[in-house]
Homo-oligomer: A and B are copies of this chain.
Amino acid sequence: MKSYRHSIEMHTEEREQVLDITERVQEVCARSGIADGFALVCSQHTSSAVYISDNDPALTEDLRRVLAQIVPEGTVYAHDLADPKGNGHAHIRATLVGLSCSVPVTNGALELGVYQTIYYAEFDGQRTKTVLIKVIGE
């Protein structure tokens, strides 16, 4: 068994922003030299998520709108009583979307469906964050 670990930095200009990280994860996978196994792609934070969706950027706007409705920013969150920055909604949104995803690796590359794109969803941005990629296989 081989394993390869690499972190990539996430830079966001907006407080909420979704980044397509497919190519960067693919590069890490190629550099790992692992032909067969899987890649675990993890936000190292708790106010951002990693998920797979369609390659249409408009969908990230749709997701933002749905999340804004079910986990609104205006509401008072217990978490924010201790945190003047008020990012309670960001943590709950990350929990619902999920902090990480696992992708099969076959023939040295991520085996994604035709339209599958790996996204990093930042819910409390404007500072550098980290996504950890662990490729495991042989």
Which label, helix, strand, loop or mixed, suits the secondary structure of the A interface? mixed
Are the C-beta atoms of A79 and B62 separated by less than 8 Å?
A: yes
- In the complex, besides A5-B104, A113-B130, 17 extra interface pairs with C-beta distance below 8 angstroms are A1-B1, A3-B137, A42-B103, A46-B115, A47-B54, A51-B98, A52-B100, A56-B79, A58-B79, A62-B88, A66-B96, A96-B97, A98-B98, A100-B101, A102-B102, A136-B136, A136-B137
Residues of A within 8 A of B (CB): 1, 3, 5, 36-38, 40, 42-47, 51-54, 56, 58-59, 61-63, 66, 69-71, 77-79, 81-83, 88, 91-92, 94-104, 106, 111-117, 130, 132, 134, 136-138
